[in-house]
Chain A
Amino acid sequence: MAGGGGSIAVVGDELPGWSEIIETLMFRAGYNTNIVIMGTTLLGLAAGVIGVFALLRKRSLMTDALSHATLPGIGLAFLVGGWMGVDGRSLAVLLLGATVTGVIGVVCIQGILRYTRLREDAAIGIVLSVFFGAGVVVLSYIQVNAASGAAGLNKFIYGQTAAMSERDAMLMGAIAVVAVVATVLFLKEFALVCFNESFARVNGWSVSAIDLIMMGLVVAVTVAGLQAVGLILVVAMLIIPAVSARFWSERLWALVVLAGLIGAASGYFGSVVSALMPRKPAGAVIVLTSGVIFAISMVCAPKRGVISAGVRRGMVSLRIAGEHLLEEAYGRGESGGRFALTSREISRAVRIGVWSVVFGPVVRAGLYWRRLARRTRDGIELTEEGVRQGARVRRNHRLWEQYLVSYADIAPSHVDWSVDQVEHVLSDELIRELETQLGARGIVVSDGVGVAR
Chain B
Amino acid sequence: MELSIGADLFPILAGTLAAVTCGVLGNFLVLRRLSLMGDAISHSVLPGLVIAFIVTSTRDPVAMFIGAAAAGVATVVLVELVKKLGRVEPGAAMGVVFSVLFALGVLLIRQVEHLGQVDLDADCVLHGQLETLVWYGAPDTLSGLLDWGTFGAVPRQVTMLVVVCIAASVFVAVLFKELRIAAFDSELATTQGYHAGVLHYVLMVFVAVATVASFEAVGSIMVIAMLVCPAAAARLMTDRLGVQVWISVLLAIACGVGGYIAASAVPGWFGKDSVNAAGSMALVAGVLLVVVVFASPRHGVVHRWARRRSLARGMAADDLLAALYRRKEVGEASVGVGQVAAMLIGHSFGKALRGAVRGGHVSNDDGWLSLTDTGECAAARVIRRHRLWEDYLVGEAGFAPDHVHDPAEYLEHIPVEPSGGAETDPHGRSIPG
Contact = CB atoms under 8 A, between A and B. Distances in A.
Given A144-B273, A145-B272, A129 B282 contact: yes
Contacts of B30: 118-119, 121-122
Contact of B102 (A122, A233, A279): A233
Interface in B33-88: 33-36, 38-39, 43, 51, 54-55, 57, 82, 85-88
A154 interface: yes
Contacts of B235: 117-118, 122
B253 interface: no
Contacts of A130: 225, 229, 282-283, 285-286, 289
A318 to B, nearest CB: 20
Contacts of B107: 280-281, 284-285, 288
A115 B112 CA distance: 46
Interface string A266-306: 00000000000011110111111001001000100000101
A413 interface: no
Interface string B267-301: 10000111110111111011001000100000101
A151 to B, nearest CB: 13
Contact of A136 (B114, B127, B267): B127
B125 to A, nearest CB: 10
B36 A125 contact: yes
Interface stretch (B90-98, B370-378, B380-388): B90-98
| Highest count of chain B CB atoms <10 Å: which of A136, A145, A279, A287 | A136
A424 B267 CA distance: 73
A3 B52 CA distance: 11
A116 interface: yes
| Highest count of chain A CB atoms <10 Å: which of B33, B99, B293 | B99
Nearest to A55: B92
B96 A283 contact: no
A294 B88 CA distance: 11
Contacts of A125: 35-36, 38-39, 224, 227-229, 232
Interface in A202-245: 232-233, 235-236, 239-240, 242-243
B43 A116 contact: no
Given A126-B228, A126-B289, A236 B100 contact: yes
A139 B276 CA distance: 8
A82 interface: no
Contacts of B278: 133, 136
A299 B34 CA distance: 26
Interface in A146-166: 154, 157-158
B224 A284 contact: no
A1 B54 contact: yes
Nearest to A291: B100
A236 B95 contact: yes
B228 A61 contact: no
A12 B107 CA distance: 12
Given A118-B232, A136-B126, A239 B280 contact: no
B123 A154 contact: yes
Contacts of A122: 30, 33, 35, 228, 231-232, 235
A61 B286 contact: no
Interface in B211-265: 221-222, 224-225, 227-229, 231-232, 235-236, 263
B276 A136 contact: yes
Interface size class, chain B: 35 or more
A185 interface: no
Contact of B34 (A7, A121, A246): A121
Interface residues of A, number: 69
Interface string A97-130: 0000000000000001001111101101110111
A61 B228 CA distance: 15
A135 interface: yes
B20 to A, nearest CB: 16
B110 interface: yes
Contacts of A141: 267, 272, 275
Interface in B320-369: none
A3 B57 CA distance: 10
Contact of A129 (B88, B93, B123, B228): B228
Nearest to A61: B91
Contact of A133 (B33, B38, B115, B279): B279
B92 to A, nearest CB: 4
A126 B282 CA distance: 9
B159 interface: no
B94 A115 contact: no
Given A136-B282, A158-B106, A116 B96 contact: no
Interface in B109-164: 110-115, 122-123, 126-127
A272 to B, nearest CB: 15
A232 B278 CA distance: 18
Interface string B7-39: 000000000000000000000001001111011
Contacts of B104: 284, 288
Contacts of B273: 144-145
A11 interface: yes
Contact of A240 (B36, B89, B96, B222): B96
Given A3-B54, A12-B111, A134-B286, 20 more contacts: A60-B95, A61-B92, A64-B39, A125-B227, A125-B228, A126-B229, A126-B232, A129-B222, A130-B229, A130-B289, A133-B221, A136-B279, A137-B263, A144-B273, A157-B126, A233-B99, A240-B96, A281-B110, A283-B103, A285-B103
In order of increasing CB-CB distance, the 4 nearest A-B pairs are A133-B282, A136-B279, A130-B286, A4-B54
Interface of B: 30, 33-36, 38-39, 43, 51, 54-55, 57, 82, 85-89, 91-96, 99-100, 102-104, 106-107, 110-115, 122-123, 126-127, 221-222, 224-225, 227-229, 231-232, 235-236, 263, 267, 272-276, 278-283, 285-286, 289, 293, 299, 301
